[in-house]
Copies of this chain bind each other. A is one copy, B any other.
C-alpha cells in the first residue's frame, strides 16, 4: 500500500488517561472502535457538531465532501445501521461503496482474513464502516487500515459504539447528563448497544445505572469491574417493577425468546417465552414512569416494547434514529478532517 498515512491503532486501555489524551490533545479522531475511547470533551465536541448537523440536514445537506468515499463493509446484514451511515455520507455530499452482505464473498474463500480485505478496500475509500462477526473484528481492521475505521457492531458480546453515541446524544438533547439514573433492560450479557452505552454513561458524574435482566443474561463482569474501578454506582435487578418508577431514562432492549426458553428449569419459572413479558414495556408500565422520563430503544423491537407506547411524548426511539443520522454525520466530519483545525482543543 503506497499510502503514507497508516496509523497503527494502539490497543487502548479501557479508561486510561493515556488513550484519552492521544485523542484529545490536539490529535484528530482516527478510528471509532469502542465507546470508552471517547472522553467527555470529545463527546461534547461531537454533540456540538451533531447539533450543527441537524441544521445542515434540514437544509438538505452540503456538498463539501463530494470527493470523499465511504465504504460500508458488512459481514452480517443490518439494513438500518448501514443506511444510516450511507445517508449521513450522502447528506455531507459524499459517495458510498456498499456491501449488504460481504460474508458471501469471504465464505467463498476459506481462510481469507479481514486484514487483507481492509488493506485493499482502504485503498479505494476515505473511511470504512465495518460490521464484523468476531468480537475483535473492527480493531483488527483498524490496525491495518490506511483510512479511518468505524465499528458498526462486532461479535456477539462486542460493541456498537455509534449506537451508544446516538443514544447518549438523544438524552443530552433533553437534559443534563450528570446525575442521571438509568435503567438498562434486556439481554445484557450479549447486548452490544447496552454494553457500549454503559461505558459512555460511566464518563459522567453521579450517574446510577440499574441493569434489569433475567439473572442468567445479566451484564458481564468486564463492565461491572470497569464500573467498580471508576466508582460508578449500579445495581443488578431482575424485576422491572422495582426500578421503573424512579429512573430518569428507561433504555429497553430486546430479549430473544430462545434465550429465555433455554432458561426453563434453570432457576426460571418455566413459563418459557412468557418470561419475556415480565420485561416488556406497554402502556400500563409507562404509567408508572416519571412524568419526564425518557424511553429509549435501539430498535428493531418485537414484544418487549408495545406499539401502544409510540404516542407517548416520552417515547424517544424514533427520534433516536433521526439523531443517528446527525451523530454519524458529525463523526464522519471529525474522521475526515485532514488536519487538526487551528485553535481546536481536541481534534
Q: Which residue of B lies closest to A59 (CB)?
A: B67
Are A121 and B318 in contact, CB atoms less than 8 angstroms apart?
Answer: no
Are B79 and A102 in contact, CB atoms less than 8 angstroms apart?
Answer: yes
Copies in the assembly, this chain? 3
Are B120 and A299 in contact, CB atoms less than 8 angstroms apart?
Answer: yes
Q: Taking the complex as formed, is A223 at the interface, i.e. its CB lies under 8 A from any CB of chain B?
A: no
Question: A60 touches which one: B60, B67, B87 (CB < 8 A)?
Answer: B67
**Among A108-116, A177-185, A237-245, which stretch is in contact with chain B?**
A108-116
Q: Taking the complex as formed, is A285 at the interface, i.e. its CB lies under 8 A from any CB of chain B?
A: no
Question: A2 touches which one: B71, B102, B319 (CB < 8 A)?
Answer: B319
Contacts of A108 in B (CB 8 A): 77
Min distance, Cβ A326 to any Cβ of chain B, angstroms: 10
Knowing A2-B322, A63-B66, say if A105 contacts B78 (CB, 8 Å): yes
**Can you list 22 residue pairs at the A/B interface with Cβ under 8 Å?**
A1-B322, A61-B67, A63-B66, A69-B87, A71-B83, A77-B104, A77-B108, A79-B102, A79-B104, A80-B121, A83-B124, A84-B124, A87-B124, A87-B125, A90-B95, A99-B100, A116-B299, A116-B300, A117-B300, A120-B299, A123-B318, A123-B325
Residues of A with Cβ closer than 8 Å to B?
A: 1-2, 60-61, 63, 66-69, 71, 77-80, 83-84, 86-87, 90-91, 95, 97-102, 104-105, 108-112, 116-117, 119-121, 123-125, 254, 299-303, 318-319, 321-322, 325
